[in-house]
């Protein structure tokens, strides 16, 4: 089945379902169900984008890009359904986010992930991300890890 990446409306049912699946997985991993109020705010700003990964027409993953500053964008809500992992969807989503960030004039991308997500950490490091100081909603959480990448 072919994999496609497309822009989508963050409020669409498919988008909301995938984000809900992401939260459920994170809740199970980290033992909480507190979701920050900034869920996907600022998605109407220039440079923001929400993407869906589709396999055989079915939405199997998502990722968002939103501005932090005029030069830095943030990756949010990166998720691929468990049955579709290790088939290139996450990498394809990240590559598309990088292209969109460059086109919007961003010089850098930051993201947060957790220490209990080693597959995500391996993916980000394989894409050239390096550790940066924690930031955002979870900057004081010892399980939170910040990553950044300069766009060239």
The residue ranges of every structural domain in the chain are 3-150
Q: How far is CA 23 from CA 16, 62, 65, 139, in A?
A: 11, 12, 17, 18
| CATH value of 3-150 in 1.10.760.10, 1.10.1370.30, 3.20.20.60, 3.40.630.30 | 3.40.630.30
Mean pLDDT of 110-138: 94
The pLDDT tens digits of the residues spanning 13-66 come to: 999 999 999 989 988 988 876 665 435 666 778 899 999 999 999 999 999 999
Specify the pLDDT at position 41. 63
pLDDT greater than 80 at residue 116: yes
Rounded-to-integer distance, Cα 120 and Cα 127, Å: 11
Burial of 11 (0-12, 13-18, 19+ CB in 10 A): exposed
Euclidean distance between CA atoms 146 and 134, whole angstroms: 5
pLDDT in the model for residue 37:
44
Which of 115-122's residues contact partners 24+ apart within 8 Å by CB, and which partners? 115/143, 115/144, 115/145, 116/29, 116/30, 116/143, 117/29, 119/85, 120/78, 120/90, 121/145
Q: Are strands 130-132 and 144-150 parallel, antiparallel or unpaired?
A: antiparallel
3-state SS assignment for residue 5 = strand
Tens of pLDDT, residues 73-105: 999 999 999 999 999 999 999 999 999 999 999
């Amino acid at each position: 089945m072919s994999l496609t990446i497309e822009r989508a409306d963050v409020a669409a049912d498919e988008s909301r379902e995938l984000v809900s699946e992401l939260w459920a997985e994170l809740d199970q991993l980290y033992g909480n169900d507190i979701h920050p109020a900034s869920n996907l705010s600022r998605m109407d700003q220039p440079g923001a984008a929400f993407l869906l990964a589709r396999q055989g027409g079915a939405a199997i993953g998502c990722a968002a890009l939103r501005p932090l500053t005029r030069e830095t964008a943030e990756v949010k809500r990166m998720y691929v359904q468990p049955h579709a992992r290790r088939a290139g969807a996450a990498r394809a989503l990240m590559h598309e986010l990088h292209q969109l960030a460059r086109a919007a004039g961003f010089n850098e991308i930051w993201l947060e992930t957790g220490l209990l997500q080693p597959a995500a950490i391996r993916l980000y490091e394989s894409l050239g991300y390096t550790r940066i100081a924690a930031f955002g909603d979870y900057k004081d959480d010892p399980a939170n890890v910040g990553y950044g990448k300069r766009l060239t």
